[in-house]
Amino acid sequence: MIETIQWTDDGVVMIDQTRLPNEEVYVTCRNYHEVADAIRDMIIRGAPAIGVAAAMGVAIGVAQASSENLDSQVEAISKELAGTRPTAVNLFWAIDRMNRVYGSVRHLPFDEIRTRLVDEAKLVRVEDIEINMSLGRHGAALVPDGKTVLTHCNAGALATAGYGTALGVIRAAIESGKKIDVFADETRPFLQGARLTVWELQHDGIETTLITDNMAGHFLRSGRIGCVVVGADRIAANGDVANKIGTYSVAVLAKENNVPFYVAAPISTLDLTLATGDLIPIEERAASEVTQVFGVQVAPKNTAVRNPAFDVTPNRYVTAIITERGVARGPYEESLRALAAQ
């Protein structure tokens, strides 16, 4: 099994996702500043994995705090972690969860507070794997047997504590006996598809074909693709889905070709405080990710660049949203609220 993130006596250990697939290197974050840097620098990425990292960041921050003015230290730790990346709501969900636990134990002896927060962060990790397995089981039934599944970015074990959301659905479909293979969009500019999805599916012996992003329409039209399954960074109350840039184009092309477009995400990715996807903050990343391909300049110097890391797919393109509590279909205002309330 791929170990994305772990709590150890030395610190928070993460597989360095900026170095994959060429090198399998593990980074140890020894304090909460290093955890925040790891999230910002994409050493760890993917909404649920960012959530686990943030929970462990709060835990290591409190474990190393002094016993005086603990409230203000927890606030400072939370603020620094919350400032790392704006789109994946799991980051804020995890920080809130840790703050709620802190609120319920802050009257206890300091050692006890530390233990409780470390235990909670470990629990967030373990629960994430269980959630993905159950989400996978719900989704497996939707995957057509004998066809190809198209996915975008990496919503796999590497984007979570393990097993994955979209790739969890694929894993569960294969475990249930279905004969499927995967087409992975390379996912410019950061190449999560080429570098991470292909690496982790090969690791599990799942037949995978890499395509560039602009080939998706061609293959969706060919009849070969049985369904699209992607993850999500934040899902608004109406079912609009923020996910890796390029997801929207794939969704439109899927609908045009009558191919089901599924989003696999845990309940912690729902943001029912936002009525529509237009309100989701979209991270803009460095221009160099577009002008360069891993350090090699591919555009003239001083080229004007836009680099939104995510886009929003309107709910009308989403065939269903697969969660650990079941599958939601439109109208999503009702179905998502019902699942969230369970």
Q: Which residue has the tokens 């369970």?
A: 342
CB nearer to ligand MRU: pick between 62 and 320: 320
Spatial strand order of the sheet with 310-313 comes to: 270-271, 234-236, 241-244, 310-313
- The beta-strand segments (E) located in the chain are 5-8, 11-15, 26-29, 148-151, 181-185, 208-211, 225-230, 234-236, 241-244, 261-264, 270-271, 292-293, 296-297, 310-313, 320-323, 326-328
Q: Of all residues in this chain, which one has the CB nearest to ligand MRU in the complex?
A: 231
CB nearer to ligand MRU: pick between 88 and 174: 88
Known catalytic residue at 213: no
Q: Which 3 state secondary structure label does DSSP give 24? A: coil
Q: Convert residues 94-133 into a mask of x (bound to ligand MRU by CB under 6 A) and - (unbound).
A: ----------------------------------------
State how far the alpha carbon of 154 is from the alpha carbons of 115, 157, 199, 233, 245, in Å: 33, 9, 10, 12, 12
Question: Which position among 4, 84, 148, 160 is part of the footprint of ligand MRU (CB under 6 A)?
Answer: 160
CA pair distance 208, 171, nearest whole angstrom: 12
Stretch that binds ligand MRU, among 7-15, 76-84, 157-165, 213-221 (CB under 6 A): 157-165
Size of the site for ligand MRU (CB under 6 A): 17
* Nearest distance from C-beta of residue 159 to ligand MRU, angstroms: 3
Residue 243, interface with ligand MRU (CB under 6 A)?
yes
Q: Tokens for 19, please give them.
A: 């170095």
CA pair distance 208, 186, nearest whole angstrom: 12
* Nearest distance from C-beta of residue 123 to ligand MRU, angstroms: 19
State how far the alpha carbon of 282 is from the alpha carbons of 116, 155, 278, in Å: 34, 18, 9
Residue 231, interface with ligand MRU (CB under 6 A)?
yes
Residue 280, interface with ligand MRU (CB under 6 A)?
no
CB nearer to ligand MRU: pick between 48 and 136: 48
Residue 155, interface with ligand MRU (CB under 6 A)?
yes
Residue 157, interface with ligand MRU (CB under 6 A)?
no
* Catalytic residue (choose from 128, 185, 233, 240): 233
Residues with active-site annotation = 233
Residues that bind ligand MRU (CB under 6 A): 45-48, 88, 153, 155, 159-160, 165, 192, 231-233, 243-244, 309
